[in-house]
């Protein structure tokens, strides 16, 4: 979850009106005064123009029949044709449902798991054991999905994967987890939880550490059991953080984990594993349907933006924070 | 009486919690351990009892590693990975640091405009194809810069760094300005020496992301000789015929599974080596960018 960014407000309060008026008049003077800062920001600004804003400009090919020889601007205009093609196509339902099902299951199963692990780490009295578990549990976050693919093969392959070796030795039939439509989503979700749960505890642990310890002492005096203390103090104490992270994840619900699925999936499991991003890659880059793929990407971008803004609103209302 | 009940409660609770933690530990460690064991499997080794989880140390075979290290494809992929990671981190830091510093200056006219400029593409992504067209237009296809440049500045990292700069005492900057230093000199001589922890943290963020990059190389690079380690690893894992990646006499020395496992382990190794630093600084950095009240 590298993109976690929860801040009260990104920009500080706007300068007050008196300041603004004074700043507007001698514009040139300001530019001279701050010339080094403006010069310093030019490389980064150039980066944003070239690699962030030019793509936004190029996104117009979603409304055009893009011909590489004519270029982005002069390609013939087609309006919403590509969007309509996509909405009417048989893969529309499949892509949307795969994306949302995989995303939601990761969220619904992953967040409670992370909270449980954080609570266990917080409650254990063995300090060294705790840091050992933390060290091991954080590690998979830093491994790429290609490495994870290797690890999963060693665990799941029908030939000599560990799980299948155990199944075989107890008389069962080996299961082709990675290529079977019945199992693929399970593998995707379980491996995501395996990889990211440890790392996700960091933020919950920090929130737990932030709870006023006198609350726990008072509960102890009142005779509350351990579980009662978790239920009535720890969980309510970290509830704002839980709400924020859930909202953030919901805002990114259309990102079902492109890198992961790109590595793990194969033709037999497209029906249950193909998500918007993988389809955009295949149709755009491999099949050269550049305009159609751009339209689908743009559709995802617009929905994503709306979801993020809604999530931001909700989080602000419930927990008093803003995400960005 | 009440005290005794409470300590029983405590004991059961502790047992439960620690058993849970131990099972998490095993669930994460066993798969990684198994990859390690498989990479050391000697040819013709038969193991029915431990499911490949234990090979006695005197039977360990390092043949798979030897073969991989001596193969030119592996050396080339490692070289590419190192170039991408070091070059990319340098570019990213050179762009991110001044940007974060400029944004951290509360008096700068146009600061809010700049923030909007970097936030718009962060919230609204144009998607894969439009970016691909830009890279293609710039002639960067089949060039390692195509991996380093398109995602060079991370908005999240910039904001974390900006937050750190904002927390530095302003008096130091003022003192340097009174001595006649310009903003560039202030950044270089005053701010950066004070910011080593955050610079290291953000560099590590970029380093890990670049080292693990495998989709953009597949997307933008065509020649095999430019592919970094993760792509080679993927090819090895998916290869029906492993002869392309190891010497043809390889089979006489180590089983195919050992090659696959060994290449997984080698790709993992640099991350594992810098992991102690990662763990220390990432935790701080994540919290800096995360819960900020």
- Give the closest residue to A64 by CA, choosing from A53, A79, A47, A49: A79
| H or E stretch covering B292 | strand B291-292
Give contacts of A55 with chain B, Cβ < 8 Å: 121, 126-127, 130-131, 133-134
A interface test, pick of B120, B129, B156 with most A CB neighbours within 10 Å: B129
In eight-state DSSP terms, residue B126 is: -
Examine the domain organization and report whether B165 and B269 are in the same domain: no
Give the nearest partner residue to A150 out of B112, B134, B233, using CB atoms: B233
Check whether residue B27 and residue B149 sit in a common domain: no
- Indicate the residue among B224, B254, B275 that finishes a domain: B224
**Contacting residues of B for A40, CB less than 8 Å apart:** 98-99, 101-102, 183-184, 187
Same domain, B207 and B105: yes
Calculate mean pLDDT across residues A242-252.
Answer: 89
Tokens at A199, concatenated: 């790392």
Q: How far is A89 from chain B (nearest CA, A)?
A: 20
Asked if B260 and B216 sit in the same domain, the reply is no
- Interface contacts A/B by beta carbons within 8 Å: 301
**Banded model confidence at residue A12, pLDDT cuts 50, 70, 90:** very low
Q: Bridge-partner residues for A322, per DSSP? A: A7
Q: What are the distances in angstroms from CA A238 to CA A202, A215, B240, B289, B291?
A: 12, 13, 49, 17, 11
Task: Name all domains of chain A by residue range, CATH numbers in brackets.
Answer: 17-79 (no CATH), 82-319 (1.10.3720.10)
In terms of Cα–Cα distance, which of B129, B143, B110 is closest to A293?
B129
Strand partners, A7: A322, B292
Kindly indicate the confidence band of residue B3, based on its pLDDT and cuts at 50, 70 and 90: very low
User: Rounded to whole angstroms, how far apart are CA atoms A113 and B14?
Assistant: 18
**Collapsing DSSP states into helix, strand and coil, what is residue A259?**
helix
Give tens-digit pLDDT for A209-235: 989 888 888 888 888 888 888 999 999
pTM (2 d.p.): 0.87
B204 and B144 housed in the same domain: yes
CA–CA dist A202, B282 (Å, integer): 10
> CA-to-CA distance for B56 and B138, rounded, in angstroms?
55
- Could you tell me which residue, B51 or B79, shows the higher pLDDT? B79
Phi, psi torsion values for B231, nearest 5 degrees:
-70, -45
Q: What CATH number is attached to the domain comprising B121? A: 1.10.3720.10
Do residues B62 and B115 share a domain?
Answer: no
Residue A64 DSSP SS3: strand
Are residues B130 and A198, on separate chains, in Cβ contact within 8 Å?
no
| A interface test, pick of B138, B187, B291 with most A CB neighbours within 10 Å | B291
The answer for A 64-93 residues in CB contact with B (under 8 A) is 72
Number of alpha carbons in the 13 Å side-chain half-sphere of residue A254: 23
Residues B160 and B207 both lie in one domain: yes
Identify whether residues B57 and B181 lie together within a single domain: no
Three-state DSSP class for B180? coil
B17 and B60 co-located in one domain: yes
Above 50 in pLDDT, residue A157? yes
The reply to whether A194 touches chain B by the CB within 8 Å rule is yes
Cβ proximity of B203 and B89 under 8 Å: yes
Same domain, B160 and B22: no
**B231 occurs within a structural domain:** no
Query: Are B133 and B114 within one domain?
Result: yes
Measure CB to CB from residue B134 to each of A51, A241, A301 and give the nearest one.
A51
Task: Please report whether residue B234 resides in a domain.
Answer: no
Name every residue whose Cβ is closer than 8 Å to that of residue B8 and which is 6 or more positions away in sequence. none
Q: What is the pLDDT of residues A13-67, one digit of tens each?
A: 444 545 555 555 577 888 888 889 999 999 999 999 999 999 999 999 999 999 8
Instruction: List the beta bridge partners of residue A6.
Output: B291
Whether the per-residue pLDDT at B61 is higher than 60: the answer is yes
Q: Is B248 exposed, middle or buried (0-12, 13-18, 19+ CB in 10 A)?
A: exposed
Q: Which of B21, B52, B130 sits opposite A294 (nearest CB)?
A: B130
- Enclosing domain of residue B166: 71-224
CB A33 within 8 A of CB B108: no
- Count of domains in chain B? 2
Give the β-pairing of A6-7 and B291-292: parallel
């Amino acid at each position: 979850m590298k993109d976690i960014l929860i801040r009260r407000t990104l920009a500080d309060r706007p300068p007050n009106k008196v300041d603004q008026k004074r700043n507007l008049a001698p514009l040139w003077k300001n530019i001279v005064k701050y010339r080094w800062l403006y010069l310093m920001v030019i490389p980064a600004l150039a980066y944003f123009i070239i690699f962030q804003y030019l793509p936004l400009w190029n996104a117009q090919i979603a409304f055009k029949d893009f011909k590489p020889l004519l270029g982005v601007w002069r390609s013939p205009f087609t309006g919403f044709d590509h969007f309509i093609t996509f909405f009417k196509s048989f893969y529309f339902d499949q892509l949307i449902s795969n994306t949302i099902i995989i995303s939601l299951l990761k969220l619904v199963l992953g967040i409670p798991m992370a909270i449980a692990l954080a609570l266990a780490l917080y409650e254990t009295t063995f300090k060294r054991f705790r840091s050992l578990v933390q060290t091991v549990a954080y590690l998979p976050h830093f491994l790429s999905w290609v490495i994870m693919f290797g690890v999963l093969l060693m665990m799941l392959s029908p030939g000599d994967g560990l799980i299948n070796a155990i199944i075989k030795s107890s008389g069962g039939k080996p299961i082709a987890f990675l290529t079977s439509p019945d199992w693929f989503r399970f593998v995707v979700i379980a491996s995501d939880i395996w990889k990211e749960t440890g790392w996700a505890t960091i933020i919950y642990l920090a929130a737990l550490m932030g709870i006023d310890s006198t609350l726990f002492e008072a509960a102890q005096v009142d005779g509350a059991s351990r579980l009662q203390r978790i239920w009535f103090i720890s969980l309510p104490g970290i509830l704002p953080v839980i709400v924020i992270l859930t909202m953030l994840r919901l805002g990114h619900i259309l990102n079902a984990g492109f890198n992961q699925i790109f590595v793990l999936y194969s033709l037999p499991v497209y029906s249950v594993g193909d998500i918007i991003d993988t389809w955009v890659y295949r149709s755009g880059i491999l099949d050269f349907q550049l305009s159609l793929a751009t339209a689908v990407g743009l559709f995802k971008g617009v929905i994503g933006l709306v979801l993020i803004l809604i999530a931001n609103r909700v989080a602000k209302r419930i927990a008093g924070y803003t995400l960005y | 009486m009440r005290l005794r009940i409470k300590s029983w409660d405590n004991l059961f609770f502790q047992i439960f919690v620690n058993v849970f933690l131990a099972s998490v530990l095993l669930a994460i460690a066993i798969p990684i351990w198994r990859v390690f064991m498989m990479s050391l499997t000697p040819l013709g080794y038969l193991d029915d009892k431990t499911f490949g989880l234990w090979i006695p140390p005197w039977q360990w075979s390092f043949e798979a590693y030897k073969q991989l290290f001596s193969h030119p494809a592996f050396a080339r992929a490692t070289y590419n990975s190192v170039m991408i990671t070091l070059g990319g981190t340098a570019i990213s830091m050179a762009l991110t640091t001044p940007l974060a510093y400029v944004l951290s200056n509360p008096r700068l006219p146009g600061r809010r405009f700049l923030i909007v400029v970097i936030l718009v593409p962060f919230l609204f992504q144009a998607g894969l194809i439009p970016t691909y067209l830009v890279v293609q237009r710039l002639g960067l296809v089949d060039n390692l810069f195509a991996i380093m440049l398109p995602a060079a500045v991370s908005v999240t990292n910039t904001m974390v760094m900006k937050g750190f700069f904002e927390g530095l005492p302003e008096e130091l900057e003022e003192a340097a300005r009174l001595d006649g230093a310009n903003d560039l000199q202030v950044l270089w001589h005053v701010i950066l020496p004070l910011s080593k922890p955050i610079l290291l943290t953000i560099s590590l963020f970029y380093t890990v992301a670049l080292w693990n990059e495998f989709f953009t190389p597949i997307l933008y690079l065509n020649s095999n000789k430019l592919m970094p380690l993760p792509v080679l690893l993927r090819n090895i894992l998916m290869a029906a015929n492993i002869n392309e990646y190891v010497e043809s006499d390889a089979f006489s020395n180590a089983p195919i599974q050992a090659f696959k496992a060994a290449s997984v382990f080698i790709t993992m190794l640099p991350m594992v080596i810098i992991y102690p630093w990662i763990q220390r600084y990432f935790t701080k950095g994540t919290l800096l960018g995360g819960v900020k009240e």
